[in-house]
Amino acid sequence: MASKQRSSDDCLVRFEPDVISIRVPRGTSILDAALSCGVSLDSVCGGEGRCGRCKVRARGAIGSIHGSEKAMLSPGTERTVLACMSTVEGDLDVLVPEFSRIGVHQILESSEHVSLKGLSPLVRKESLNLYQPTVKDNLSDLERIRRGFRDNMDRRASVSLAVLRTIPKAVREKDWEVTVSLAEAVYGQAMVAIEPGDTCKDTYGICIDIGTTTVVLSLVDLITGVTLATESNYNKQIMCGEDVLSRISYAEEHGTKNLTKLITETINYLISQACESASNSTGRNITPQIIVSASVAGNPAMIHFLLGLDTHNMRLEPYVPVANIPQCPRASEIGLKINPTSLVYICPGRAGYVGGDVLADVLASGMHLKKKLSLLIDVGTNGEVVLGSKDWMVCCSCSAGPAFEGGEVSSGMRAMQGAIDRLRLTKSGDVRYHTIGDTDPLGICGSGLVDLISELFVHDLIDRSGNFHKEMSNRIRVGEDGELEFFIAKRGKGELARGWVDELPRDIAIKESDIRNILRTKAAIYSSCSVLLKSMDKDISDIHQIVIAGGFGRYLDIRKAIMIGLFPDVDLKKYRFIGNGSLEGARLVLLSRKKRKELFGIHKSMTYFELSVSGVFFDEFTSALFLPHTDLDRFPSDKALLALEKSNTK
């Protein structure tokens, strides 16, 4: 057999220490080569050359992405480059350091648990003992199965061609004893699996929260409703950009195929991990192929990428998605490695930037069942806010930006090992901090940034615009770029930085430009809350509870978040954390018909406000760009605390 002809323009790229090789066409970026073979480079800007995080050392033939400074490195020469800005011009050896990879995140898996009085899962199993066919009773195999059901609705269940093809072997393997998995579909019942024998005791489903940064998955016993295992990991799409807009831009340039591949790979890895964990803990042999049900919650862009849908129009006004309520696809249609004919329930979204994850948050919080007014806030790369009660709901989304995810901040990083996540300043001016994993500090993540800005403000080291009072601390200095910065700590020399110390800033510091980015982010969140309240002629005093959902909110010091004007200034007892409400909402719809109806009720009752065309939002946003706000009367506890601090320093 003749071997495939290799193009003369193909180049061999070897990635170390992964010991992975791939052949790519000449001119391919190193980042694209890494993506193609699964090397997890950190490229939060989506390969635009802005974030500077995808540094690698390359030896061999290399050029510039723009065609300038094209340099063929001679053998033995090594050069540090950005993978997204460098092209493969010949055979190449690439060393990828730990700090350029997507590391282990602090991922919120837990949530406030909602008890269910009864179970009515998306899929149930029915065991049938069928009469064998005879000359006189010669019904077809499918008609014989339909006759075996006791319920007329089950007898009318649809059956796909893929399921139909499995019937002859399944019904005869165990002498006409079979188990039929029946799914609750939008158009009625559907047969999604037919197995030989009685397998009713093995009925499993998965619920999935697809976040922009992380993905969390739970494996659930549909008979008992018990969660057998929960697994999480970063969303591999991070290699194509940190936020939603950068990934939509990536899709416009490269297509959605790679983004779809990356999210299905992430989910399938979690499925295998969950099955292994559950098998070990229960003593059962649980394999991905016997999982017959799935529910998914995610923001609209993540759902579109999962389904392979075009996201182009979501980026342009009026920001229209392909579908808010997509029909349930088969697992095989979207590449999920469970029972291939299983239906995958997609939690409905409300608008281009308010998706099923937010509606799942609402479902998990129960605010849609309460007479009193609630405000729900989910802070992520995008910020979503919902205001309402059992009678009505309004929602909006703001582009909070990646500042709280570590982006657009010079020493910022995600909530992963080595990140400063808690911080305080002493009266003597020292910095006390805690790092995730209790390791040497490598940067500062979102919760640490909130602490830092609050502490700088309270100790009068910055003014209300975020500008430094240079004379107030010897930690305030002029950085190498000529900008004022506050020195936090020396960067550690742990595993992430070993051997690459010269490639990293030696100090962890925050600059005035970093503070301005954070102020813009907090202003977007707070002003979103204000717009919804004003739109409904409500005041913050009318709020009975403020529900904080999502991973970032779970690790925040609420008092400090109020101090910088991120959240409204109300009694702390009104704040309620629900954790990963998106995953909990997905679990509820996996297990309960009642909750599925409630979710659609939420969808119907929710009115969406588009902030980009709101003059009120612009005015509120501008006023919120100060610490904590232009109008200090909105933050009475901050006002009192600041007055006390100033009196103590006199």
Q: Domains in the chain, please, with CATH?
A: 10-100 (3.10.20.30), 123-196 (3.10.20.880), 365-402+519-649 (3.30.420.40), 405-511 (no CATH)
Q: What string of DSSP letters covers 594-641?
A: HHHHHHHHHHHHEEEE-GGG-HHHHHHHHHTTSSS-S-GGG-HHHHHH
pLDDT digits (tens, 9 = 90+) for 442-454: 889 889 999 999 9
CB 409 within 8 A of CB 517: yes
User: Would you give the distance in Å from CA 61 to the centre of its chain?
Assistant: 37
Q: pLDDT for 160-219, tens place per residue?
A: 999 999 999 999 999 999 999 999 876 678 999 999 999 999 999 999 999 988 899 999
pLDDT above 90 covers a percentage of the chain that reads: 66
Note the pLDDT of residue 16: 87
At 382 the three-state DSSP class reads coil
For the stretch 13-71, pLDDT in tens is 999 888 889 999 988 889 888 888 878 787 766 677 777 778 888 888 888 876 544 44
Report the pLDDT averaged over residues 111-117: 86
Residue 356 pLDDT more than 70? Answer: yes
Out of 83-92, 143-152, 521-530, 588-597, least confident range: 83-92
Give per-residue pLDDT as tens, 127-142: 999 999 999 999 999 9
Q: Distance between CA 551 and CA 447 in Å, rounded?
A: 10
The reported pLDDT for the residue numbered 623 is 96
| Paired residues of 105 in beta bridges | 416
Q: What is the pLDDT, as a whole number, of residue 177?
A: 97
Report pLDDT for 521: 92
56 phi/psi in degrees, rounded to 5: -140, 165
Query: Do residues 445 and 485 make contact, with C-beta atoms less than 8 angstroms apart?
Result: no
d(CA 457, CA 460): 5
Region 616-627: mean pLDDT is 95
Cα 450 to Cα 458: distance, rounded to the nearest angstrom = 12
pLDDT digits (tens, 9 = 90+) for 416-441: 788 899 999 998 889 999 998 898 89
pLDDT of residue 598: 97
Mean pLDDT of all residues in 557-578: 95
The two three-digit tokens of residue 179, written as one number: 């188990």
Size of the chain, expressed as the number of residues it contains: 650
Of 69, 15, 66, residue with least CA distance to 37:
15
pLDDT of residue 101: 74
**What pLDDT score does 70 carry?**
41
| Surface-to-core class of residue 156, CB atoms within 10 Å of its CB (0-12 exposed, 13-18 middle, 19+ buried) | exposed
Averaged pLDDT, 554-582 = 93
pLDDT at 553 over 90: no
CA distance 297 to 126: 28
CA dihedral sign, ordered 496, 502, 503, 509? positive
pLDDT range class, residue 110, cuts 50, 70, 90: low
Q: What confidence score (pLDDT) does residue 72 get?
A: 46
Stretch among 399-408, 579-588, 590-599, 604-613 having the lowest mean pLDDT: 399-408
Q: What is the pLDDT of residue 346?
A: 97
The alpha carbons of the chain give a radius of gyration, in whole angstroms, of 27
Tokens describing residue 32: 């694209």
Residue 535 has pLDDT above 70, yes or no: yes
Q: What is the pLDDT of residue 360?
A: 97
Can you name the residues that pair with 579 across neighbouring β-strands? 111, 549
pLDDT at 73 over 60: no
Q: Are 635 and 562 in contact (CB under 8 A)?
A: yes
Query: Where do the DSSP E strands lie in 409-513?
Result: 419-425, 431-435, 443-444, 476-478, 484-490, 507-511
Q: What is the pLDDT of residue 105?
A: 59
Separation CA 277–CA 66 (nearest Å): 47
Taking the model in full, what pTM does it have?
A: 0.86
Q: Give the pLDDT score at 4.
A: 39
DSSP type of residue 474:
T
Quick one: pLDDT at residue 214?
Answer: 87
Q: At 486, is the secondary structure helix, strand, or coil?
A: strand
- Residue-by-residue DSSP string for 580-596: SHHHHHHHHHHH-HHHH
The DSSP 8-state label assigned to residue 520 in this structure reads: H
The DSSP string of 250-289 is: HHHHH-SHHHHHHHHHHHHHHHHHHHHHHHHHH-S---GG
What pLDDT, on the 0 to 100 scale, is given for residue 71? 44
Residue 498 pLDDT? 47
Q: How far apart are CA 617 and CA 357, in angstroms?
A: 24
Average pLDDT of the chain is 89
Say if CB 130 and CB 148 are below 8 A apart: yes
User: Which of residues 109 and 379 earns the better pLDDT score?
Assistant: 379
What pLDDT shows up at residue 69? Answer: 41
Show the tokens assigned to 209.
Answer: 């929260």
Model confidence at 497, in pLDDT bands (50, 70, 90)? very low
Residue predicted with more confidence, 315 or 294: 294
What average pLDDT does this structure show over 298-318? 94
Q: Residues of the chain with pLDDT > 70: what percent?
A: 90
**Of 540, 557, 603, 552, nearest to 581 (Cα)?**
552
Task: Answer positive or negative: Cα dihedral of 318, 319, 325, 331.
Answer: positive
